[in-house]
Structure 1
Amino acid sequence: MAENTVLRTRMADMGMKRPELARQMNEALSGLTGKYGTVSERTVHNLLSGQTHWPRSRTRLALEAVFGCPASELGFTPPRPDPPEAPMHRRRFLSTAPIAAAATAGLTPPKRTTGPYRVGASDVDRLERLHDQLVEDDDQLGGTDTVEQRAAALAQQALTLQNRGAATARIRTRLYAIAAHFTDSAMWAAIDGRRLHAANGYLNQAVTLAALSGDSATIVRVWGHAGSLYRHMGRPTDALAASEAARNASRARRDPLYASLTYARLAVDQAHTDAPATVLRNLDNAQRSLTRIDAGEPRPSWMRFYDQAELDLLACGAHTTMGRWTEAEARAHSALARLHPGMPRNRALVTAYLALAQLHQGATDHAVATARSVTPDLVHGRTAHLLDDFTTHLHATAPASSHAQEWTTYRKDVLHAR
């Protein structure tokens, strides 16, 4: 049997011995299931020696949480063919992991089986790289359950490091910040996937961790997504309060890029409660702030998403809420012209907005053609919700038209929707 050199190398890169890996896997299982794991040094020996070709589901999930990547990237080979019950077993295991355990993970120090561990900058750097990859996955896939679960597991990993032993004040601050970002990413994935109950389960922890980090940029991100959650839950007053909290953060007051983002998000929430003049004024504020940014100023990598295309997308959403269909269509076209190729989720979302705006202006043929251009694999979550609104309005305004019949057939045969 061949030794698993990939796993051994990854352990060496992280300065990790067998007892340490066993402990981290057990703590990861504690965060995922609410029960401390039973991984032993013998288990790790079997993983390294090649005796384990493909770990069992719980062992595999623990490994993926510790290293932040699929088991197939750790030197393991899935069986061929896969046992038919394995995927369902994995989904059942994930769905039964209580959200409450994830929401409180790390707030009570885990039981230590070895001496104190010195948490260093390299530990946080590794987590930040994993977060960058998570953000890229979200841009590609949207709010899938996989992205949500991985973000929640990585948040637990960051909190486990926080409570393992000695660290400087600066490292602890960074750990709180990255744990807040992972929790926020899990919340955002659930929001984007319209799993609002799950998203609400992450909210308090994300806000608490952001406050503990003391990092104003992190606070902007968490409150901004909290506003989106409240808006989707039908709580416009709370959404507005959350967006105002982000807008009032010190980073948003001194950095024009953050100012632009928070003005735009505030406008989206005001579209549900305030007069159009207020919404338009803050969209103008967002646009002016964006023209004043210093591109050379260092900013966290997660802020790469915000540019003119994102501002156009947010403005399109605000105009859609207010029923300003001509303006919504113009902003959608502007966003599509500027969107980065690495943002397919946003392209699908903007295209759905465009189809809805065209339909409300009576261009039924163009609207159906636009709706059909949305990539089918990305028709879930918010995009699916917009296309449901599109379908409802199409059937209400032109139920017997050939375009409505075309769209009904497409939804059934391609999108597998009723």
Structure 2
Amino acid sequence: MALFGTDGVRGLANGPLTADLALSLAQATAVVLGQGRIAEARKAAGKRLTAVVARDPRVSGEFLTAAVAAGLASSGVDVMDAGVIPTPAAAFLISDIDADFGVMISASHNPAPDNGIKIFARGGVKLPDVVEERIEAALAWPKLQPTGAEVGRIRRFSDAEDRYAIHLLASLPHRLDGLHVVLDCAHGAASGVSPQTFSDAGAKVTVIGADPDGININDGVGSTHLDKLAAEVVRTGADVGIAHDGDADRCLAVDANGAVVDGDQIMAILAVAMKERGALRSDTLVATVMSNLGLHRAMAAQGIAIETTSVGDRYVLERMNEGRFSLGGEQSGHVIMSEFATTGDGVLTGLHLVAEMARTGKTLAELASVMTVFPQVLVNVRGVERSRAGDPDVVAAVEVASAALGDTGRVLLRPSGTEQMVRVMVEAESSETAERIAGELADVVRG
């Protein structure tokens, strides 16, 4: 089984993800990413390679970060320890200081016992599959073992958060003055930088979920638990609520009435705004196959094309890079604005969403009305072979359901990438129709 998943190496800390594995991965990364023209030129000039290392606040991140830093320094790489910052901040800093690569210790929206290791290449970009495969293979290769003055140094990246905040503020097309924002930081990596940056941008800020203790990350708060945010927005009479996940690479929102505004709606709002100011390259948005049919209809009405990818922000980013597009993302709130970021950035997204409210004088509900959300039902059929998604009877049933829906809905079946499970997704003009068809297709998948 491959060590790397769709977003780095992830698992139970001190279960599959041990300090030994973290150290070995760091050593293997130094071997693989220490190659190449630029790296070789630096070494030829007598310079050591440099890596940015950062983490979210979960308690296991402390020993995993220490292990990663030890593995890199023992391989002759200088380490800039940025401490607790969002994943997109780490990616930005790699580019900002021209580091050779970087490592983020985080399990994103997962509960506190889990953790993960994400590796970024030069420029703060995620590694392609082939490079991850080389790093995994390099676990069995000889390690770099410099001695004396050739070993790496570990230094504190003292202005990491300030650099990131300045970058965020410089990206804004409009200040946030006059708007009251409730922020839910998921007791995660954005607990410091997000409230300060929104405040510096002019917003009145109320904060929840910003008291990380190492074990409460994502616990009943953040982008996967929006009830508390919605209640606080309504209670305080705020204009908008913004929710991050544990490493702040995603953003979801709630309007003044507490209604959820998901990633598809956020992308619709930003796409229209960016097109108006000429910042939406090729008038194109990149989204995944899971994005709502309502997004496709709304963008067509606005003269905006949609490029569709497989599920996963890495695939969105790959297509954006291929086509040099400026906006893409997922329904889950991973939104990539390539002019300012190399990965999904929940703080950046939230700032630009609220800036559009300030610029237009419209409520979030008014902005979100550009898109009508089709009812969407997702059924996870567990305990079946993933190959069932391609079974002739299943394929035939999907064709019949799709024909019945016509242009009033759609059907998507896809096998899980990690479990013995097939996901059945149906969109239709009514919830009743979507639930009925999804249930019928799930029965066919079960056989």
- Same fold per superposition (TM over 0.5): no
The one of the two structures with greater contact order (alpha-carbon pairs below 8 A, sep at least 6) is 2
Larger strand percent:
2
TM norm structure 2: 0.31
TM norm structure 1: 0.32
